[in-house]
């Protein structure tokens, strides 16, 4: 092949990054008056998907998807930026900076693939303040943020936040404490609480548990990310303390690239109840 030839992977990266971006009117999105922003499909992954991530990314690139983060979604809601024509939120759960954690190498490999394919994505961090941390891991996480990777809180202890035994102080440690630690160690402005087990939102009404909502407001978080519902468009007339609930979905029953594309293609049809501002 000549010097100007490109290989298949380079082509897939180019086609993924070439997705059309919505044109912004003068003054931002709000100037032309759209009242809502669609919730992009959100794909939930774990370290076990490291073997299947590259085929997923290749398929997403082929279909014109482009990775975004919750910070990107918030900017779109605030009228500060547009979204790609086919945005997708990729979240990878359960990263932990504990010293000696064998799984960090798996997450690091997944991060490298995301960067190689030009995909912004989110890692959900369980901070575990009760065990010794690896400073080198925190340093690497801080460096990841320069490559289009965002870090969000997955609580301090990966707790079931529906547990009625949790006190307000417990929730403060799980949510506010974990978000503060990530910000302190990496400089990443944490924007979302990714709910362990998807628990913390009423599946029937779509409302966040009021105590979780209050803890997120105190932590300065914009989004609560669950599983049930959270597909309907989000309002753009959000206040500074509004907390918004959005959903996500795994890569289907086949747990592979085909399943991921199927779930993303049917995102709006499988939504359950609404996304959006929480009930007071």
Q: Which helix (H) or strand (E) holds 36?
A: strand 36-37
Domain CATH for 92: 3.20.20.370
Q: Please tell me the distance from the alpha carbon of residue 46 to that of residue 48, in angstroms, as a whole number.
A: 5
| pLDDT at residue number 199 | 86
| pLDDT at residue number 201 | 82
Q: Please tell me the distance from the alpha carbon of residue 193 to that of residue 1, in angstroms, as a whole number.
A: 47
Q: Please tell me the distance from the alpha carbon of residue 37 to that of residue 277, in angstroms, as a whole number.
A: 13
Question: Nearest-CA neighbor of 61 among 95, 6, 16, 18?
Answer: 16
| pLDDT at residue number 26 | 38
| pLDDT tens per residue across all 280 residues of the chain | 444 444 545 544 444 444 333 333 334 444 455 689 999 999 999 999 999 999 999 999 999 999 999 999 999 999 999 999 999 999 999 999 999 888 999 999 999 999 999 999 999 999 999 999 999 999 999 999 999 999 999 999 999 999 999 999 999 999 999 999 999 999 999 999 999 998 888 777 778 999 999 999 999 999 999 998 999 899 998 999 999 999 999 999 999 999 999 999 999 875 544 444 433 2
Count of domains forming the chain: 1
Residue 106 in any domain: the answer is: yes
Q: Please tell me the distance from the alpha carbon of residue 152 to that of residue 124, in angstroms, as a whole number.
A: 5
Residues 6+ apart with CB under 8 A from 245: 201, 206, 207, 208, 223, 224, 225, 226, 229, 230, 275, 276, 278
Residue 47 in any domain: the answer is: yes
**Which residues, listed in sequence order, are joined to residue 201 by a DSSP beta bridge?**
208
Q: What angle do CA 77, 154, 44 make, to 5 degrees?
A: 70
Residue 238 in any domain: the answer is: yes
Residue 173 in any domain: the answer is: yes
Count Cβ atoms below 10 Å from residue 187 Cβ, excluding itself. 12
**Which residues, listed in sequence order, are joined to residue 208 by a DSSP beta bridge?**
201
| pLDDT at residue number 10 | 52
Q: Please tell me the distance from the alpha carbon of residue 243 to that of residue 231, in angstroms, as a whole number.
A: 15
Tokens, residue 254? 């086949």
Residue 23 in any domain: the answer is: no
Residue 149 in any domain: the answer is: yes
- What is the residue range of 265's domain? 35-277
| pLDDT at residue number 256 | 96
Residue 15 in any domain: the answer is: no
Residue 49 in any domain: the answer is: yes
């Amino acid at each position: 092949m000549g010097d100007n030839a490109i290989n298949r992977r380079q082509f897939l990266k180019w086609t993924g990054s070439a997705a059309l971006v919505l044109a912004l009117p003068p003054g931002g999105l709000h100037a032309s008056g759209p009242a809502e922003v669609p919730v992009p499909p959100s794909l939930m992954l774990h370290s076990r998907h490291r073997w299947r991530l590259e085929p997923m990314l290749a398929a997403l690139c082929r279909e014109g998807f482009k990775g975004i983060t919750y910070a990107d979604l918030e900017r779109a809601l605030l009228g500060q930026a547009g979204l790609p024509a086919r945005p997708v939120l990729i979240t990878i759960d359960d990263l932990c900076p504990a010293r000696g954690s064998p799984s960090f190498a798996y997450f690091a490999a997944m991060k490298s693939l995301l960067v190689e394919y030009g995909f912004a994505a989110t890692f959900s961090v369980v901070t575990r303040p009760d065990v010794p941390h690896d400073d080198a891991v925190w340093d690497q996480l801080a460096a990841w943020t320069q490559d289009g990777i965002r870090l969000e809180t997955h609580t301090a202890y990966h707790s079931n936040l529906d547990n009625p035994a949790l006190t307000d102080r417990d929730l403060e440690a799980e949510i506010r404490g974990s978000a503060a630690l990530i910000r302190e160690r990496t400089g990443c402005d944490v924007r979302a609480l990714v709910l362990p087990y998807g628990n913390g939102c009423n599946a029937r009404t779509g409302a966040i548990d009021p105590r979780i909502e209050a803890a997120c407001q105190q932590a300065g978080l914009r989004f609560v990310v669950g599983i049930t519902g959270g597909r309907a468009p989000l309002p753009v007339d959000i206040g500074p303390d509004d907390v918004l609930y959005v959903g996500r979905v795994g890569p289907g029953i086949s747990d592979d690239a085909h399943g991921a594309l199927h779930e993303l293609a049917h995102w709006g049809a499988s939504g359950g109840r609404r996304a959006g501002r929480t009930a007071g």
